[in-house]
Amino acid sequence: MLKILLNTVLRSLYRQKAYSLMNIMGLATGVTCTLLILIWVEYETGFDKFHEEIDHIYSVYENQNYADGDVFSVYSTPAPLAESIKKSFPEIKYATRLVTTLGQLVLSVGDKSYVEDGGKIVDDDFFSIFSFPILKGEKKHPFQEENSIVLTEKLAQKMFGESNPIGRMVELNSKFRCKVVSVIQNPPANSSVSFDFILPFQFFEKLWDYDLNDWQANTFHTFIKVEKGVASDKLALQLQTYIKDRVPNSNVELALQAFVEYHLYAINANKAGPIWYVRVFLIIAVLILLIACFNYMNLATARSERRAKEVAIRKVVGAQRNGLVGLFLGESIFFALISLGIAIVLVELLLPVFSELTDRNLALGINNIKFLLSVSGIVIITGIISGSYPALFLSSFLPIQVIRGVSRKDSALLRKVLVIIQFSMSIALFVCSGIIYQQLNFLQQSDVGYNRNDLIYIEMSDDFNVIYPKLKRELIKIPGIYWVTAANQMPVNFTNSTWDVGWPGKTENSEDILFQLSFVDYDFIETFEMDVIQGRGFSRLQGEDSLKFIINESAAEKMNMVNTIGEPLRIWNYSGEVIGIVKDFNFRSLQVGVEPLIMMRNPDTFKYIGIRIGEDVEPTLNKIRAVWDTTVPDVPFTYRFLEEDFKYFYTAESRMSKIFVSFTLIAFVISCLGLFGLVSFVTERKSREMALRKVFGASMDTVFQLLLKEFFKWVLFSNAVAWVLSYFVMEWWLKGFAYRIDIGIGIFILAGFVSLLITFVTVYQQIWRLALKTPAHVLKYE
């Protein structure tokens, strides 16, 4: 049987080279896309799996409940929480706080300084919860000494070269001396927790003036590891009111997220997390594979007339239908195996490009049993799906029908349905790609309420209040610099918030309104070119503004003040008055709306310098660097453009959009092959009719118009199905954005035009090819 199968396949390859090549390349393209997507999915779902006992690790997060019914979920938790719950619940074996963003710190060894922003501050339990192998030094409890530092292998190599760093001293911000106690393995690329160096928690108080006993200030991520056999849902229920029991009138409830879900699943209900992309691209993989299989079916049945005699002869000499079905199924599986070989070569060639596109370090998992089983399954399923109908159809030919030249008409409807399904899926992907592109372009071009262009910012590491006044005086003298200001955070991602705000007329329903809080300097409004709609901004000309507040429109609306300017306002223990209202501006991704914001002056908290520059960027940057090197000689000059940070909001969406478009184009190409197969079948069936029309002097235009009308009808039907499907899918997707486009008719018209154009070209090419043949050539065997 295997020998017969091999002979059949080789004969088919030899006699019908073009047809076989189209079949193989169609399947190979579909399998290639599927493999690429599976490799990416395997990577995404494999995040953090290297940790031992990962099923016992949880992230503790907050659900903040507000009067309007909104629930705002954040990973930030109070400083005392980790140690407190560890003492209160025996089932919690380890607990650690983690400061995720330290900003830039200057690490110095001798006369060499390194500006690093990959630091983390943790408790000693961090090393018992997570499985990051320690290569050198203290391995169980690195932070037995207060002034300690743990370096990654990469940073240790950078700072100390080949010499042993253990016991060496590192100076931090030219203030603190730390001893290198351990060298830890570089975190894998698929780790949710990444770092270049780690400091003990005691350093947090040294670097910042912070009350570590405050239950209402949220700055730290909290992770726990529980004992074996602990029911997480029961523990989560016990933790739910833990903060409420310690903070009267608190609107916060604690919750647990399994660490195995930390990367894939977002805790906010309005954000889907990477799992959304995983599911979408798995669906795309299935669709592309189905399109490739349907394409094989159409091409196989399009050539059925040529194989009818082969089937008739096999039946005459005793072949049974079951045997023929097995033969043709085996043939399709054999084609799938050939396609797999080509696909693996294509994957190896395309993987570097795909890795760059996805921003992942992807590899073909030849040694991965799970991956190999998946590939084997794909080959078998592809072979069976693509070969099932052709096998049943070809094996059903009766010898007497073949001898009489009777054509089979029962398969026409199914082939048309397959082409409709192919084109419906391809057109739907085309429309979805267009809408995704339009939405991302809309987000990137939208007015956010301030001018983010020509703005750079510099992060200061220490002694800000000492350095900043002198630095600002020197910077403002540089031609090409228009404004200089300072703040504790830049308006691309405000993270400070509080509900401890008081104002006249505040009601019980206002008790749990969350206000974003930002500390800014003079000239902040002018530097960012924000619109003041009432009152004024902070100004030296008005005297000391440290107990004055500027709010945005959303805050004024939430406070429901009658005469806002001059009204008293309290934040924590700061009491002052409102001096201005600015027009709402976006300080987060446009996926979320504008939140109530309060700005005040507090120089002790300033961390960033914002500078508005002119068009001569490079000369101005060189002058800024010269001033910096003179004023702050011990700290290397580093800066960022605010526009780059804004674009970072949509990096994942932009990256996924490019992948989506790429796979859409591939799906379209495979669908075109399916259409080509159906057109080939129809023109082959009508070849005698066309030859006779030609003999009697008829024009080929009539046949062309008839065929074109029929195919246009089916393609238009495909468009109708695809338009409805893609519209509802995209409406659902756009609901995740606070600012969104309205779906216009243009993208649907474009999809229809492209699909009809492809149909026109395909039909025309086939008719033209047939028209070149003489009637004698077509009819000589009749």
pLDDT digits (tens, 9 = 90+) for 708-718: 888 888 899 99
**Residue 191, Cβ neighbours under 10 Å: how many?**
17
Looking at the DSSP bridge assignments, the partners of residue 74 are 62
Q: Provide the CA 83 distance to its chain's centre, in angstroms.
A: 35
On whether both 36 and 104 belong to a single domain, the answer is no
pLDDT tens for each residue of 468-506: 889 999 999 999 999 999 998 888 877 777 778 889 888
pLDDT the model gives residue 446: 86
Residue 582 has what pLDDT?
96
Instruction: Say if residue 565 is in the same domain as residue 657.
Output: no
pLDDT of residue 307: 60
Q: Note whether 208 and 130 are within 8 A (CB).
A: no
Q: What pLDDT shows up at residue 627?
A: 94
341, part of any domain:
yes
Rounded (10°) angle between helices 746-771 and 651-685: 30
650, amino acid identity: Y
Question: Residue 422 in contact with residue 650, Cβ under 8 Å?
Answer: no
Type of residue numbered 671? S
pLDDT number for residue 678:
73
- Last residue of one domain, picked from the residues 165, 200, 231: 231
Which of 167, 202, 231 is the endpoint of a domain?
A: 231
Tell me 188's DSSP state: P
The single-letter DSSP state of residue 100 is -
In the structure encoding, which two tokens stand for residue 652, read together? 């994942």
- CA dihedral sign of residues 595, 600, 606, 608: positive
- Is there a single domain that holds both residue 582 and residue 663? no
* Residue 372 shares a structural domain with residue 484: no
SS3 sequence, 117-133?
Answer: CCEEEECCCHHHHCCCC
Report d(CA 224, CA 95) in Å as an integer. 4
Query: 711, 767 in Cβ contact below 8 A?
Result: no
pLDDT in tens, 652-687: 788 888 888 889 888 888 888 778 777 776 777 667
Whether residue 454 is contained in a domain is answered as no
DSSP secondary structure of 681-727? HHHHHTHHHHHHHHHTT--HHHHHHHHHHHHHHHHHHHHHHHHHHHH
Measured CA to CA, the distance from residue 597 to residue 579 in angstroms comes to 14
Q: What is the pLDDT of residue 526?
A: 94
CA 705 – CA 701 distance, rounded (Å): 6
Domain count, the chain: 3
Cα separation, 134 vs 715, whole angstroms: 62
Q: 581, 558 in Cβ contact below 8 A? A: no
Q: Where are the alpha helices (DSSP H) in 405-535?
A: 412-445, 464-475, 524-527
* pLDDT at residue number 376: 82
Which of 179, 209, 231 is where one domain is finished? 231
57 within domain boundaries: no
Give CA–CA dist 596/655, Å, rounded. 31
Q: Does 682 lie in the same domain as 547? A: no
Token reading at 41: 């999915």
**Do 609 and 655 fall into the same domain?**
no
Identify whether residues 510 and 566 lie together within a single domain. yes
The answer to whether the beta carbons of residues 598 and 523 sit under 8 Å apart is no
Would you state the pLDDT for residue 256?
95
Task: Tell me which long-range contacts 604-607 makes (C-beta under 8 A, separation of at least 24).
Answer: 604/209, 604/465, 605/488, 605/519, 606/460, 606/464, 606/465, 606/468, 606/486, 606/487, 606/488, 606/519, 606/521, 607/103, 607/459, 607/460, 607/464, 607/487, 607/488, 607/489
Q: Does residue 655 share a domain with residue 623?
A: no
In a domain, 756, yes or no: yes
Show the low-confidence residues of the chain (pLDDT under 50): none
**Tokens matching residue 756:** 């009809």
pLDDT at 353: 92
The answer to whether the pTM exceeds 0.85 is no
Q: Give the range of the structural domain holding residue 598, as residue numbers without chain letter.
A: 462-634
Residue 456 domain flag:
no
